[in-house]
Structure 1
């Protein structure tokens, strides 16, 4: 995007190839299209800016953990293990949508949003992938986009009792966008500790329900990337979410603090708009829920187990 217009990638370049070229390669492409014909942003539909290779979603905001814990356990304690290392879960890279898309959730009585900032991994040839230190991790962050990790809290609550992590409570949808802002565009917001001090806001049907600074994370993004790469790999096209911001970054946190479903869960027709300073905004409308064929409960252990 250039100002309020878009231009196509030149010479068959793709999002993947741009990410692989790193920020320096992206600058070269920008110089080549500066004088090309442009299409006003108002005339295009913004899809998810990439098809991620993997999505790791962290839980890096202490205040969010406190609020959700108050709703689940009746107290706002944060487990000691949270402070020891940044925790994440893997989610589905194949149910991405862009801004303005209608979200079709599963049947749920507690549909929720989650306001997050996400880092997108890129880098030039030979970029490190495994056991990165913090400086190396910063060098492979190509840019950032807004992330909405939609959640069916009632489905999620049942799944979490199995002690494995969220699955179908989050599997149905995630919004990324509105575009990828390259990391160099956000250096002006870095504080002295390396955190991005950008304001994040969540609106439901036009009403502000949550606001926070992304710099309230427990770890800056390069440390999240370094942890993800530990005895593993982070590669071009990976997306790493910050986790939900505090102070109303999701309804679930507010339910925990308020002791009930206030504000109410999302309903068909509701509009959710998420705004992050320096990045942009994404907005989606909740559509009608999608019923799915039932799956029976586990069978009792009445069959022969061994010979």
Structure 2
């Protein structure tokens, strides 16, 4: 199934819909994407049967929203090529850190800054090095703690496209402190155009357990990068297992794959070429991500109003303590 969240043009509120071709069949108003995910597949199947009997909307005539409001968003970094290129661009380092091979590293990003298809992306006014990141995300379908990798497949609800928008100049400065990205990332993450349930993508799984999907990104209609999702270092099941280790995942969590290689973001290309070519994103640019078996997600770059200035840090002499 393909499950979308859209703004009902009559009721003026968000609703979940089942996408079939050019039609969007609305679920009952009481359902949200999160509630359907948490309820389990049997409830979803019954609700979908009722939706198919409802009068559909024309998919082209409705506004699609982000498919869900995630419980949390963990973004992994599962592609070696991306790691190597972006390190050169952001902090001037070369190669892939040895620790990358120990476990599928991730950071938490902001679940309150989720955008949907065709939305404008408000980059910080202080940012000049504006970038996209082409990713696929898995949506967790059940709660679990310290899930084993071989059991993690039962925790997969479905998949969607994720764009981890990046303010590279802000990111490079703040990561000098030794923590992960903060204001370089948390202003916007795009999800969409819908969630494809796990069963639909099983035919794409290769012999090593990876989903072999072609992923491409273009800016204003010009292709910038392409890669296959099967070039990931870890499967989504391993990511779920690691995210839950000594911790907890819940239905509605989103786990991003990290940026694909071969031009999945501009910073990778900047790092390899030593210059910002292609140039950073400009206001009005349209970034389009396309993933085989899932769909297409497009957004327009915009600039947020300038934020208020912060007071300076209060400096204390550590020797005097």
Give the TM-score range, shorter chain.
Answer: over 0.9
Q: Which residues of 2 match residues 239-258 of structure 1 at below 5 A?
A: 239-258=254-273
Distance, in Å, in 1 between the alignment partners of 2:33 and 2:202 is: 22
What is the match of residue 59 of structure 1? Answer: 77
Are the structure 2 counterparts of residues 304 and 83 from structure 1 closer, same or farther at C-alpha, using a change threshold of 3 Å? closer
Q: TM-score, normalised by structure 2?
A: 0.90
Q: Does 1:91 align with 2:109?
A: yes
Are the structure 2 counterparts of residues 300 and 76 from structure 1 closer, same or farther at C-alpha, using a change threshold of 3 Å? closer
Distance, in Å, in 1 between the alignment partners of 2:30 and 2:257 is: 32
What is the match of residue 203 of structure 1? Answer: 218
Query: Which aligned runs of 4 or more in structure 1 are off by greater than 3 angstroms?
Result: 72-76, 302-306
Distance, in Å, in 2 between the alignment partners of 1:259 and 1:14 is: 46
Q: Does 1:177 align with 2:192?
A: yes
**Structure 2 spans left out of the alignment, 5+ residues:** 1-18
Distance, in Å, in 1 between the alignment partners of 2:76 and 2:38 is: 24
What is the DSSP-based 3-state SS (H/G/I as helix, E as strand, rest coil) of the residue aligned with 1:37?
coil
Distance, in Å, in 2 between the alignment partners of 1:222 and 1:198 is: 16
What is the aligned length? 302
What is the DSSP-based 3-state SS (H/G/I as helix, E as strand, rest coil) of the residue aligned with 1:261?
coil
Distance, in Å, in 1 between the alignment partners of 2:179 and 2:319 is: 27
Q: TM-score, normalised by structure 1?
A: 0.94
Q: Specify which of 160, 169, 172 is matched with residue 157 of structure 1.
A: 172
**Deviation larger for 22-31 or 133-142:** 22-31
Q: Specify which of 31, 39, 45 is matched with residue 49 of structure 2.
A: 31
Q: Does 1:8 align with 2:26?
A: yes
The answer to whether the 8 Å contact 1:198/1:276 transfers is: yes
Q: Specify which of 289, 301, 307 is matched with residue 286 of structure 1.
A: 301
What is the DSSP-based 3-state SS (H/G/I as helix, E as strand, rest coil) of the residue aligned with 1:77?
coil
Deviation at 1:110, TM superposition (A): 0.1
More strand by share: 2
**Structure 1 spans left out of the alignment, 5+ residues:** none
Deviation at 1:224, TM superposition (A): 0.3
Q: Specify which of 128, 146, 157 is matched with residue 109 of structure 1.
A: 128
Q: Does 1:262 align with 2:262?
A: no
Deviation at 1:258, TM superposition (A): 1.1
**Deviation larger for 200-209 or 2-11:** 2-11
